[in-house]
Amino acid sequence: MSRRLQIAIVGAGIGGLALSTLLTRAGNLVRVFDQFEAPKPIGSGLMLQQTGLAVLEQLGLRAEMDALGTPIERLWGLTTPAGRPVLDVRYQKWRPDVYGLGVQRGLVFDALLRAALDAGVELVTNAPVVTVRSAPPSFEIEGQGEIKGMDLIVLAHGARSNLTRKDRGVDLPYGALWATLPWPEDGPFDRTALEQRYFKASQMTGVMPSGRLSAESPETLTYFWSIRADQEQSWRNTPLEDWKAEAIKLWPETETLMPHFRSHDDLTFARYRHHTSKAPVEGPGLVRIGDAWHAASPQLGQGANMALLDAWALAQALQTQSDLSAAFGEYLRLRRMHVRLYQWMTWLFTPVYQGDSRILPWLRDWLAAPISKIWPAPPLLAAMVSGAIGAPLKRLGLSSR
């Protein structure tokens, strides 16, 4: 667009910060509003895929991610006690140059925040947005009144916001307890793999290598333990030692990690949500990106990567189109198919690994696992985990290296 736009972004998470930098660098006037008192990331480790890394490269942040993250070559899951492999995805079966990157969320967040502030983005903290209107674009911050006069409002408020439409989507029955721990140097885990152990689909635990926060800080892993949301409180009321015994029974090698857990508060619970907004674009001046548009369980590890793709697509659309309406059309053209595909695939896969069904884990173990070893399943699964189904990078004029 030839004129300079006044843009407000609600949410300084992964998508909101990335978009704010791209739009400011393109000459627009951008303010980002977040409810937090001071900028901080929400959550634990993250797996970056080639999709998200391609956008981080455009932002000038990929070298830092590659230097501090841990390259992951394989997703590897076994059942307990049989030791039957039911998840074995190797990126190299699709393309030899492709990998996932295990990182701490704080690394991505800090890099995105620094880039935004360096670009000249204005970040407004302590700004919980309570209502939003699309025509004319305006919103209200709790206790601070209405903000008007923007050309465009971008909703980047994530999955668990007061602004999320509660009548759309569902809270999934399961979530997980997460913790970032030091990598045990002489420990039993594979530094090149995200490893999981399952009992049916009702118990699942995993370890993901998650790199360092800085060159000086220690190498880490992210530990997770799947748990039903309605059992979180009873888990808290049960002695921690009882849970540790259960966790060690599911994956004996994790015994080495257990001394890090001294209280229940050393693990953070995250409940998963699945929703796809029917109206990513609303009226003449409102658009959604990231989890505000499409949230899903992190089973396929795509959410942050998709938020970055959305940010890139919207920034490109605003730059290349002549008005907002054309830019919105272009944004949807660039992203809608990929979003639909991954929302659908994540919906399909999640209960196979986290759920109470008896049939799905049985089918997984005895049917899907053997089939997944037969060509063309190995390269297809690797492409799926990389976020590449639907060729999103090609659509966006980006390339993975």
Ligand X SMILES: Cc1cc2nc3c(=O)[nH]c(=O)nc-3n(C[C@H](O)[C@H](O)[C@H](O)COP(=O)(O)OP(=O)(O)OC[C@H]3O[C@@H](n4cnc5c(N)ncnc54)[C@H](O)[C@@H]3O)c2cc1C
Question: Which of positions 303-322 make contact with ligand X (CB under 6 A)?
Answer: 303-305, 307
Those residues whose C-beta lies under 8 Å from the C-beta of residue 180, and which sit 6 or more positions away, are 44, 45, 104, 210, 220, 221, 222, 223
Toward ligand X, which CB reaches closer, 232 or 326?
232
Among 10, 154, 172, 315, binds ligand X (CB under 6 A): 10
CB of 31 to ligand X, least distance (A): 12
Toward ligand X, which CB reaches closer, 79 or 222?
222
Among 7, 8, 28, 34, binds ligand X (CB under 6 A): 34
Among 97, 131, 148, 162, binds ligand X (CB under 6 A): 162
DSSP 317-372: HHHHSSSHHHHHHHHHHHHHHHHHHHHHHHHHHHHHHSSS-SHHHHHIIIIIHHHT
Q: Confirm or reject binding of residue 361 to ligand X (CB under 6 A).
A: no
Toward ligand X, which CB reaches closer, 326 or 345?
345
Q: Give the CA distances from residue 212 to residues 77, 112, 115, 228, in Å, rounded to whole numbers and listed in that order.
A: 24, 16, 19, 30
Q: Confirm or reject binding of residue 116 to ligand X (CB under 6 A).
A: no
Q: Confirm or reject binding of residue 327 to ligand X (CB under 6 A).
A: no
- Taking Cα atoms as reference points, which of 132, 157, 163 lies closest to residue 283? 132
Terminal-residue alpha carbon distance, the chain: 30
Q: Confirm or reject binding of residue 392 to ligand X (CB under 6 A).
A: no
Residue with the two structure tokens 């399909």: 348
Q: Confirm or reject binding of residue 350 to ligand X (CB under 6 A).
A: no
Among 1, 7, 9, 13, binds ligand X (CB under 6 A): 13
Q: Confirm or reject binding of residue 15 to ligand X (CB under 6 A).
A: yes
Q: Confirm or reject binding of residue 158 to ligand X (CB under 6 A).
A: yes
Q: Confirm or reject binding of residue 330 to ligand X (CB under 6 A).
A: no
**Amino acid identity of 111?**
A
Q: Which stretch binds ligand X (CB under 6 A): 62-70, 143-151, 158-166, 278-286?
A: 158-166
Those residues whose C-beta lies under 8 Å from the C-beta of residue 290, and which sit 6 or more positions away, are 11, 13, 14, 15, 16, 156, 158, 303, 306, 307, 310, 311
CB of 320 to ligand X, least distance (A): 23
Q: Which stretch binds ligand X (CB under 6 A): 39-47, 198-206, 211-219, 258-266?
A: 39-47
| # of chain residues touching ligand X (CB under 6 A) | 37
The two beta strands, 6-10 and 70-72, are unpaired
- Taking Cα atoms as reference points, which of 103, 258, 250, 254 lies closest to residue 188? 254
Q: Which stretch binds ligand X (CB under 6 A): 143-151, 295-303, 346-354, 355-363?
A: 295-303
Question: Which of positions 171-200 make contact with ligand X (CB under 6 A)?
Answer: 176, 178
Provide long-range contacts, Cβ within 8 A and 24+ apart, for 125-133. Answer: 125/34, 125/36, 125/37, 125/38, 125/39, 126/35, 126/36, 126/37, 127/33, 127/34, 127/35, 128/35, 128/162, 129/10, 129/33, 129/35, 129/157, 129/163, 130/162, 132/10, 132/163, 132/286, 133/286
Among 77, 106, 128, 211, binds ligand X (CB under 6 A): 128
- DSSP assigned state of 202: T
CB-based closest residue to ligand X:
13
Q: Give the CA distances from residue 316 to residues 29, 56, 151, 302, in Å, rounded to whole numbers and listed in that order.
A: 16, 15, 17, 21
CB of 208 closer than 8 Å to CB of 45: yes
Q: Which stretch binds ligand X (CB under 6 A): 43-51, 199-207, 245-253, 334-342?
A: 43-51
CB of 96 to ligand X, least distance (A): 22
Q: Which stretch binds ligand X (CB under 6 A): 63-71, 110-118, 179-187, 284-292?
A: 284-292
Among 20, 28, 58, 161, binds ligand X (CB under 6 A): 161
CB of 5 to ligand X, least distance (A): 20
Give the footprint of ligand X on this chain (CB under 6 A). 10-16, 33-36, 42-43, 46-47, 127-129, 156-158, 161-163, 176, 178, 270, 290-292, 298, 301-305, 307
